[in-house]
Amino acid sequence: MIRPSRNHPGFWAFLLHRLSGLALVLFLPAHFLVLGSAINASAFDAAIAWTDRPLVKFGEWGIVVLLALHMTGGIRLLALEFLPWSEGQKARIAIGIGAALLFGAALALGLV
């Protein structure tokens, strides 16, 4: 249960940003490990073949959506800290999350 004092859009946006960031931190070493295996062609081919599984494809889609969420969240924070203050912070949170999820839907439908 979330503490009532934290139950507001600003905290949820922080939580999303932190958790997506942590997931990307866990993903990146595996990503580089696979890229590094390209020195050995057969090992790289085996790794690429492994990523053809539907579950891994779904995971890749999830990672890209988390990246999109982390990016829109990051842009929002940079705007909050470096641009003159806007009273529309909650709208910005919603726009950022909405844009990232729209991108994820477009990706799932093969539009991008």
Partner 1 sequence: MTRELDVKIKRGGDDGGYENFRVPQRENQTVLDVVTWIQREADPTLTYRFACRVGVCGSCAMTVNGRPRWTCRTHVSKVAGDGRLVIEPLENMPVIKDLATDMTGFFEKWQAARGRFEAAISRDDPLVPILPDSPERRAADAAIECINCAVCYSACDVVSWDQDYLGPAALNRAWAALNDVRDGDRAGLLRAVSGDAGCGNCHSHQSCAEHCPVEINPTRSIAGLKRASLVALLKGER
Q: What number of CA atoms fall less than 13 Å from residue 4's CA on the CB side?
A: 0
Sign of CA dihedral 72, 108, 30, 55: positive
Q: Of these, 19, 80, 105, 106, which contacts partner 1 (CB under 8 A)?
A: 80
Does residue 77 touch partner 1 according to CB under 8 A? yes
Sign of CA dihedral 16, 21, 27, 32: positive
**Distance (Å, whole) CA 104 – CA 76:** 18
Q: Of these, 25, 39, 54, 82, which contacts partner 1 (CB under 8 A)?
A: 82
On whether the CB atoms of residues 90 and 9 are closer than 8 A, the answer is: yes
The DSSP code for 45 is: H
CB of 100 to partner 1, least distance (A): 18
CB of 62 to partner 1, least distance (A): 25
- Which window, 24-32, 58-66, 73-81, 100-108, contacts partner 1 (CB under 8 A)? 73-81
Q: Which is nearer to partner 1, 49 or 82 (CB)?
A: 82
Residues in the site for partner 1, rule: CB under 8 A? 3-6, 8, 10-11, 14, 77, 80-82, 85, 89
